[in-house]
Amino acid sequence: MNDARMNDAKTEEQRLYRLALGVVGAITLIRVLILIVGRLEIHPDEGQYWWWAQTPAFGYFSKPPMIAWIIWLTTSVFGDGEWALRIGSPLLHAGAALLLFGIGRLAYGARVGLLSAIAYVTLPGVSYSSCLISTDVPLLFFWALALYAFLRALYDRRWIWVIVCGLAVGGGLLSKYAMFYFVAGAVLAGLAVPKVRALVFSRRGFTILAIGLLLLMPNIVWNVMHGFPTVAHTEVNANWGHARYNLMNALDFLAGQFGVFGPLMMAGLLWIVWRLACGSVRDPSDVMLAAFALPPLVLMFGQAFISDANANWGATAYIAATPLVVNALLKLWKARVLWASLGFHALAEVAMWAIMVSPPFADSLGVGNAFKRMEGWRELGQAVLQESRRSTYVAIVAANRSVIAELVYYARGRVIPMRMWDKDTHDDDHFQMTMRLKPGTPHVLLVIAPDEDVEVLSTFRSATPIRTIVIPIGGHRQRIAQLYDARDYLGPQTH
């Protein structure tokens, strides 16, 4: 009798997994097709990551190397089109969603696993993230893999799950240093839940950390050899030296989480946190998942209060938070809130697809300003490319990181190198570190914004205007670039 029930339960789990696989697979297929036909141009950060991928290494100025490795792989297979640069994103999010099935199943059962996979793959933040490639994408995948392996290791004494968890932690650290929040979550969960404590504070737990740090070691060595630029960049982003202690910044960050996680899912998470604070949450799975979800949100809320924090900086919280909230909302008002949330996610997904295919649609929704950094670059790149062939320029020079990141991509086919103008000799980004314009350069095509002309032009012996390029972009704004024939770079001018 018991064997029959176990077989029935296993059959039901398999059925629900196949359903999750079908839903996640269908959404991912549509996302890939939308990428292929989409017209939304690459973000400046994507241009920078593509440039990194041209020279695979163990580190880069502002980030660990995983993002460059992924782009190198996808573009090596599919070419350098925008969709090929980005295709790793929907595929990795699909992988994370299927891992969410496993996390939800281990914590609460296969039904929660199914709904967790669907909820995650349709989260507003994931829908947006699937349309571009960023460091958060591999980070979330490795975080999901690490949490799944961690849960397996709780109930399975085989070392394979410890090793998989350690490898995932290492992969996450090579994606973004925010993976260290996973360690904080594991320690917090270990302090709160006895069964977790037996794993975390043991040889097996220390092995997970050791494997993760071992995989990070090549990036640490790279930083040592280059003067710790990634660490310095992280400190600059934190900006604690100019602390503002502004509560409104922190509340803005919190409000942004309603957009990333979805308004009803975020409300559900806050409700669970309130119950946790009141001592009414006693399920060990609830406590454990909350322990993994809270550190990124609490730390980034504090970061936003001290200085500033982007909404996506707390994204890792939602790997553990998704099954936690799904399980809670399933029991609330006959799951109506959960279904309403999934319906909202679906609408946001379709709107994102429409914007990808027709970027001006964002203006009609009133969100054009959010996409302005991904419009107008292709036209600018082609104009610069054509002009670079009309004279004896030895380099194309830009004074803005976003502009040079886009030109290295959209001005492909140039026969002269790109160079970065800099007001001093301090490295503030990867372009300044690797392609700074050198004094004495005789003849360059200069691409600058109108507000850069006085400072930049004064560093050349002469600069003749060629043309001004005006391109309409999202939010009813314009991208304006001025082209100059500039001669004899004098170097940074000190005053």
Render pLDDT for 214-234 as a digit per residue (tens, 0 to 9): 999 999 999 999 888 887 777
Mean pLDDT, the chain, whole residue set: 93
Of 9-23, 174-188, 324-338, 358-372, the one with minimum mean pLDDT is: 358-372
- 30-84 pLDDT tens trace: 999 999 999 999 999 999 999 999 999 999 988 999 999 999 999 999 999 999 9
Q: Average the pLDDT over 183-187 and give the result.
A: 97
Is residue 200 pLDDT above 80, yes or no? yes
Residues 180-190 have a mean pLDDT of 97
Rounded Cα gap, residues 342 and 330, in angstroms? 12
- Give per-residue burial for 288-297: e unless 16+ CB within 10 Å, then b: bbbbbbbbbb
pLDDT at 178: 95
User: What residues contact 224, with CB distance under 8 A and at least 6 apart?
Assistant: none
Query: Could you tell me the strand order of the sheet in which 477-489 lies?
Result: 418-420, 395-398, 443-448, 477-489, 460-473
Percent of the chain clearing pLDDT 90 (strictly above): 81
Which of the two residues, 88 and 308, has the higher pLDDT score? 88
Stated pTM of the model: 0.94
Question: Which strand (E) or helix (H) includes residue 290?
Answer: helix 284-306
Mean pLDDT over 351-355 rounds to 94
Q: Which residue has the tokens 């005006």?
A: 470
- Residue 2: predicted pLDDT: 65
pLDDT at 8 over 90: no
pLDDT at res. 6: 66
pLDDT band at residue 5 under the 50/70/90 scheme: low
Mean per-residue pLDDT, 248-265: 94
Where does the pLDDT of residue 307 fall: very low under 50, low under 70, confident under 90, or very high at 90 and above?
confident
Residues 6+ apart with CB under 8 A from 347: none
| CB neighbour burial string for 436-467, b if at least 16 within 10 angstroms, e if fewer | ebeeebebbbbbbbeebbeebbebbeebeebe
Q: Please, which pLDDT band fits residue 282 given cuts at 50, 70 and 90?
A: confident
